[in-house]
């Protein structure tokens, strides 16, 4: 490994401004957040041969959908299996690896488009890109928590907000590039992938160059750790290996899984739902705008809720997500039926803010329960809940909808039943979060499991 | 577990080096400008909902 990547070479000198670290983290998360915007390539990928319309040899939309699914699965796998190793290597190595994998994924996918080989695109964007996503997602978390012991929720919220915001850059950038490279014989997808691979590599290198870890025992000026005993915040450290043996890990796995499943479910039907509930008032273009607006709530919620959790406590924050979420999910159909579009958008927005907030608050919840030592690796393992929810959520919604339509339930009402079932899932999440208690001292390592 | 400790403890550089405020500004612009552009594009698209 290059000496410049040594963990020791990443230690910040005295006088280093810790506010340089959030942009380093953001440069990674804003880039990999592009994954949320991959759907803009779905239709062009089905018309690579026919260009103006799909030719018989073109891929089907359902086949193209595998690219994103494979990427999300590899995100979870790489975060789970590489987390502990990345902890040892340090954030700079992790960020560089993320940049290399994510960018090379685009380059291989570009080759796949040029040769019209789907397996190459899946290998590139799905496997390589997915590994880049997983490594990049967890790489700055522990570093930020270490730099901001006074506001860990705000710090992780800032980075993970970037993942939500990445789609807002990725979508218009992809469209602009495809328009630029488009010719009469090509949709410009290969050139767009190539350009994005190079662009994101350069963009992510800021994080690689800038990131520093604080010196041992460093504390922000004027920061005095609270001497007040807080049951849900430990001073001990639990290894990633031990963490997965605790009930707390699996309760938080369930918390993340249920929050994400419900969120993905409503997100996946948002566009169709608003058009069918407000027939004649909301066009397809306006529904697209609605989904864009939801991504702003999703992004904002990551920062706002995670920052609030520094004051409210993590457990109480998730109590709010699940209690308020269950009420809103159950109310949305009635709000839609009342015809109040502003209230409908607002309700949906708050739901999506809590979906994003759930992602951003979970790493600090883990830090509170398991300590800082291997929080990145533990976070990586917990992200398998996201991968599972990414598969279960859309399947569950589609199955529920098809079943109800087959039972002659009117379209608008089919949404209602789905929302009530999702509200039920959130009640289960509430109970799982309620059961989270401090980790038993027997699981702690290194310092004997002392508690503050 | 014990063998994790040495790798987690890093040497501390001695010299105090104050971070350049210009560097701070540039790095925040590096991430802030694309993000604001993305938000602006999204809001422009979302306006169709209320028009």
Spatial separation of the C-alpha atoms in residues A121 and A309, rounded to whole Å:
40
Which of A253-262, A297-306, A399-408 is least confident? A399-408
**Helix, strand or coil, per DSSP, at residue A233:** coil
Taking CA atoms, what residue in A is nearest to B37? A169
Residue A268 has pLDDT above 90, yes or no: no
The per-residue pLDDT for A448 is 44
A8 CA to chain B: closest CA distance, Å? 5
Spatial separation of the C-alpha atoms in residues A134 and A379, rounded to whole Å:
11
Token pair listed for A3: 């000496």
pLDDT average, residue stretch B16-37: 91
Residue A366 has pLDDT above 90, yes or no: yes
Spatial separation of the C-alpha atoms in residues A136 and A96, rounded to whole Å:
9
- In this structure, what are the phi and psi dihedrals at residue A237, rounded to the nearest 5 degrees? -125, 135
The per-residue pLDDT for A85 is 87
The per-residue pLDDT for B46 is 86
The per-residue pLDDT for A216 is 87
Residues in chain A closer than 8 A to B25 (CB atoms): none
pLDDT average, residue stretch A333-358: 92
> Are A23 and B39 inside 8 Å of each other by CB?
no
The per-residue pLDDT for A224 is 78
Token pair listed for A295: 């991504």
Residues in chain B closer than 8 A to A27 (CB atoms): 30-31
Sole residue written with tokens 């739901």: A351
B5 CA to chain A: closest CA distance, Å? 8
A166 CA to chain B: closest CA distance, Å? 8
List, as one string, the DSSP characters of A173-218: HHHHHHHHH--SS--SHHHHHHHHHHHHHHHHHHHHHH--BPPTT-
The per-residue pLDDT for A284 is 83
> Are A17 and B13 inside 8 Å of each other by CB?
no
Q: Give the orientation angle of helix A21-32 with respect to helix A129-138, to 10 degrees.
A: 150
Q: How many CA atoms lie within 13 A of A99 on its CB side?
A: 23
Q: Select from A272, A308, A356 the least CA-distant residue to A33.
A: A356
Highest mean pLDDT among A59-68, A266-275, A422-431: A422-431
The per-residue pLDDT for B1 is 38
Report CA Rg, chain A.
Answer: 22
Which of A76-90, A131-145, A312-326, A401-415 is least confident? A401-415
The per-residue pLDDT for B4 is 42
Spatial separation of the C-alpha atoms in residues A329 and A34, rounded to whole Å:
28
The per-residue pLDDT for A447 is 52
Token pair listed for B40: 């602006």
A81 CA to chain B: closest CA distance, Å? 17
Taking CA atoms, what residue in B is nearest to A240? B1
> Per DSSP, which regions of A211-349 are E strands?
237-238
The per-residue pLDDT for A358 is 96
ipTM summary value: 0.86
Per cent of chain A over pLDDT 90 is 62
Which of A40-44, A212-216, A319-323, A402-406 is least confident? A402-406
> Are A23 and B28 inside 8 Å of each other by CB?
yes
Residue A450 has pLDDT above 80, yes or no: no
Which of A49-53, A205-209, A251-255, B9-13 is least confident? B9-13
B36 CA to chain A: closest CA distance, Å? 9
Residue A318 has pLDDT above 70, yes or no: yes
The per-residue pLDDT for A236 is 83
The per-residue pLDDT for B45 is 86
Contacts of A198 (CB under 8 A, 6+ apart): A103
The residue ranking higher by pLDDT, A394 or A203, is: A203
Average pLDDT of chain A, as a whole number = 90
pTM of this prediction? 0.87
- Residue from the list A213, A216, A289 with its beta carbon closest to the beta carbon of B46: A289
Spatial separation of the C-alpha atoms in residues A201 and A394, rounded to whole Å:
31
The per-residue pLDDT for B12 is 54
Which of A149-158, A199-208, A280-289 is least confident? A280-289
Taking CA atoms, what residue in A is nearest to B28? A23
List, as one string, the DSSP characters of A247-278: HHHHHHHHHHHHHHHHHHHHHHHHHHHHHHHT
The per-residue pLDDT for A407 is 86
Residue A436 has pLDDT above 70, yes or no: yes
The per-residue pLDDT for B14 is 60
**Helix, strand or coil, per DSSP, at residue A397:** helix
- Residue from the list B1, B37, B49 with its beta carbon closest to the beta carbon of A446: B1
pLDDT class for A417, splitting at 50, 70, 90?
confident
The per-residue pLDDT for A231 is 72
Residue A39 has pLDDT above 80, yes or no: yes
- Residue from the list B10, B31, B41 with its beta carbon closest to the beta carbon of A26: B31
Which of A1-15, A46-60, A302-316 is least confident? A1-15
- Inform me whether the C-beta atom of residue B45 falls under 8 Å from chain A C-beta atoms: yes
Taking CA atoms, what residue in B is nearest to A22? B28
The residue ranking higher by pLDDT, A412 or B27, is: B27
Token pair listed for A160: 């993970």
Spatial separation of the C-alpha atoms in residues B30 and A224, rounded to whole Å:
33
Q: How far is CA A214 from CA A143, A298, A386, in A?
A: 8, 30, 30
């Amino acid at each position: 490994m290059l000496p410049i990547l040594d963990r020791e070479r990443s230690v910040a000198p005295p006088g280093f401004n810790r506010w340089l670290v959030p942009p380093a983290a953001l440069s990674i998360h804003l880039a990999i957040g592009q994954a949320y915007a991959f759907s803009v390539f779905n239709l062009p990928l089905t018309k690579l041969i026919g260009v103006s319309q799909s030719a018989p040899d073109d891929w089907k939309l359902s086949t193209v959908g595998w690219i994103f699914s494979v990427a999300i699965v590899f995100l979870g796998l790489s975060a789970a299996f590489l987390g502990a190793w990345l902890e040892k290597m340090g954030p700079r190595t992790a960020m560089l690896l993320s940049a290399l994998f994510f960018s090379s994924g685009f380059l291989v996918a570009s080759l796949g488009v040029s040769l019209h080989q789907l397996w190459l695109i899946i290998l590139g964007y799905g496997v390589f890109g997915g590994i880049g996503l997983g490594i990049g997602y967890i790489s700055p978390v522990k570093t930020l928590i270490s730099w901001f012991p006074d506001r860990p929720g705000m710090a992780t919220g800032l980075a993970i907000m970037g993942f939500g915001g990445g789609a807002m850059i990725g979508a218009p950038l992809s469209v602009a590039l495809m328009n630029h490279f488009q010719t009469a014989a090509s949709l410009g997808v290969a050139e767009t992938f190539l350009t994005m691979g190079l662009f994101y590599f350069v963009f992510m290198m800021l994080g690689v160059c800038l990131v520093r870890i604080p010196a041992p025992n460093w504390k922000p000026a004027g920061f005095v750790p609270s001497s007040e005993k807080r049951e849900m915040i430990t001073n001990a450290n639990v290894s990633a290996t031990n963490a997965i043996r605790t009930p707390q890990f699996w309760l938080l796995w369930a918390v993340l899984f249920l929050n994400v499943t419900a969120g993905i479910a409503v997100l996946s039907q948002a566009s169709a739902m608003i058009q069918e509930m407000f027939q004649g008032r909301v066009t397809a273009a306006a529904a697209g705008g609605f989904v864009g607006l939801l991504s702003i709530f999703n992004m904002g919620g990551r920062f706002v809720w995670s920052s609030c959790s520094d004051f409210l406590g993590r457990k109480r924050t998730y109590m709010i997500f699940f209690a308020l979420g269950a009420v809103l999910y159950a109310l949305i159909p009635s709000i839609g039926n009342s015809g109040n579009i502003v209230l409908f958008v607002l309700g949906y927005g708050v739901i999506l803010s809590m979906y994003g907030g759930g992602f951003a608050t979970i790493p600090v919840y883990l830090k509170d329960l398991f300590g800082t030592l291997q929080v990145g690796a533990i976070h990586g393992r917990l992200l398998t809940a996201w991968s599972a929810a990414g598969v279960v959520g859309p399947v569950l919604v589609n199955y529920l909808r098809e079943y109800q339509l087959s039972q002659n339930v009117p379209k608008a009402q089919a949404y209602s039943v789905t929302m009530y079932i999702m509200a039920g899932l959130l009640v289960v999440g509430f109970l799982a979060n309620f059961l989270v208690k401090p980790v038993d001292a027997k699981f702690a390592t290194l310092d004997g499991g002392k508690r503050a | 577990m014990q063998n994790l400790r040495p790798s987690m403890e890093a040497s501390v550089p001695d010299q105090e080096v104050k971070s350049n405020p210009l560097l701070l500004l540039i790095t925040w612009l590096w991430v802030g400008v694309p993000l604001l552009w993305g938000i602006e594009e999204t809001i422009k698209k979302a306006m169709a909902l209320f028009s």
